[in-house]
Structure 1
């Protein structure tokens, strides 16, 4: 799990720091923001103290309606648990009381530059933190998006993964990562593929060198990340090794506990590898819709044998 600091969140969402600038390097260990509600009335049984606390118009309006003494008590009851920070989305007006408590307890207090919809802000913040704090691993390969389907190309060095990706780009598909693919586990079923920043937009082709696909082919040639749906292993041609079965037995590769459907495509001069990858992507999509070409074919043959 990567290290995520309050400072990174502040820069990502362009937040103003009211107090606690010296504590911005504090680490955020728990993804997901929390809007305190029950905590303001004394219920702390399930208070997620390690999460960022977000105060919107609803929470700030409630606090403003309290007497000075009661407001002080309510705020003190929350800050004593030392959450990583407070983020206010309702503007800076009237936050003196909150500022005083945050200074006393060394808790950063940040505000959005302009009042924003708290629900939308929390959704964006949650999505960002889930990605940043997700378990991850790096694998050697190429990641592409074909017809909106994320595909991880694996194979030995020099087998032609990058060249195949280049051909796919020429057909209107998108590169996500070349050489080093970073895989992030967002949930028990979701594996995200992305780049490692250093290789972003670059494609390495033997005999040609490095290409920046965005500068060469436009923004449409690159995608920052994609959900991995299928793994395709590119292997060298072996005579008589290919099967002509109407339907292959399903195979899977496990990445951090997530099983990804896996298949093999052998390389040989003259084979349209990019076209086969497109066919594999389309076939995967149809399967998700409940259609199997093999089952459809067998159903047409059934009357002849009945």
Structure 2
């Protein structure tokens, strides 16, 4: 079930496509001041980790990540201020000639005439923010990591149940959207219906979100499209969630035994990230939404180190 099901539903990854974010998007997202380089704001950013060029200003370039956003905090600016005019001009020139996407000065530091001149000459945006260096780096890394993460689109529904991100899969018409509606009516949240975008933000974390077009919409057979925010309020929708459970809805098979109390752990794999996977057979009268709630709560307890099956076996042994 697990690995085969997950692999079969991965969709088409954008592997071959070089993703990028423009400097303009970064400026708008983080509300940065443009000191110079307004005409160069369409320069692409293709790496998610920002970089502080301290060693580079000191003359060491062996591992200079030139495709990253360069952040100049108090350490870097203070160091440059202490250099002679000739030294400063040489050190800045040696860094700027590699043409990184942009430079960002934190703490609203001023006295940047020398940086401005070099950036204007090379056509590189010089930006500024009142945020501390640590605050800006956290925000920039988080934004760029999500925007540039590898992603695939899968057919399914994504919901959060008691804060637990769940991917619901199953063949077309099996009742995924209706199950999502039942969960929303119980106070849980929709993330995406029909087309779920999965983003691999690091080797262990998979984010689920919508594709923009389907944001807030739930498609119900015989009813049509429903905007869950308009009908149930803002609490019925969440923009993204970390996927920690993959639940596949499958048809009930009459001759199949479904009385196992201690199932072997199964997983699905998406872009190399493994996610716990379970199957829920559908039968008239089964409260599928309640079963999904139970699965979410049970998963949470397991992350806290508790296993009901293990406790049950201990009780048997004690008797």
Tell me which interval the TM-score lies in, with the shorter structure as reference length. over 0.9
The residue that corresponds to 1:262 in the other structure is 277
Deviations 1:159-191 (A, max 9, x none): 111111111111111111111100001111111
Greater shift, 177-186 or 81-90, is seen at 81-90
CA contact (8 A) 1:131 1:186 kept: yes
* Alpha-carbon separation, structure 2, partners of 1:2 and 1:162: 31
CA contact (8 A) 2:32 2:128 kept: yes
* Alpha-carbon separation, structure 2, partners of 1:29 and 1:222: 30
1:242 to 1:174, Cα distance in 2 relative to 1, 3 A: farther
Please list every run of 5 or more consecutive structure 1 residues that lacks an aligned counterpart in the other structure: none
Q: How far did residue 246 of structure 1 move?
A: 1.3
The residue that corresponds to 1:208 in the other structure is 223
1:70 to 55, 75, 87: 87
1:12 to 24, 29, 45: 29
The residue that corresponds to 1:273 in the other structure is 288
Q: How far did residue 212 of structure 1 move?
A: 1.3
Task: After TM superposition, list the pairs within 5 Å mapping 1:4-43 onto structure 2.
Answer: 4-43=21-60
The residue that corresponds to 1:93 in the other structure is 110
The residue that corresponds to 2:19 in the other structure is 2
Deviations 1:235-270 (A, max 9, x none): 222213242111111111110011111111122221
The residue that corresponds to 2:179 in the other structure is 164
Deviations 1:203-258 (A, max 9, x none): 11112211111121111111111110111111222213242111111111110011
Structure number with higher relative contact order (C-alpha < 8 Å, ≥ 6 residues apart):
2
* Alpha-carbon separation, structure 2, partners of 1:183 and 1:212: 22
1:253 to 268, 286, 293: 268
Please list every run of 5 or more consecutive structure 2 residues that lacks an aligned counterpart in the other structure: 1-17
TM-score (ref. length: structure 2):
0.90
* Alpha-carbon separation, structure 2, partners of 1:192 and 1:26: 27
The 3-state SS of whatever aligns with 1:186 is strand
The residue that corresponds to 1:145 in the other structure is 160
Q: How far did residue 276 of structure 1 move?
A: 0.2
CA contact (8 A) 1:152 1:228 kept: yes
Deviations 1:54-96 (A, max 9, x none): 1123322332233222221221121122111111123363221
Number of residue equivalences: 302
* Alpha-carbon separation, structure 2, partners of 1:91 and 1:60: 11
The residue that corresponds to 1:240 in the other structure is 255
1:132 to 118, 125, 147: 147
1:242 to 1:147, Cα distance in 2 relative to 1, 3 A: farther
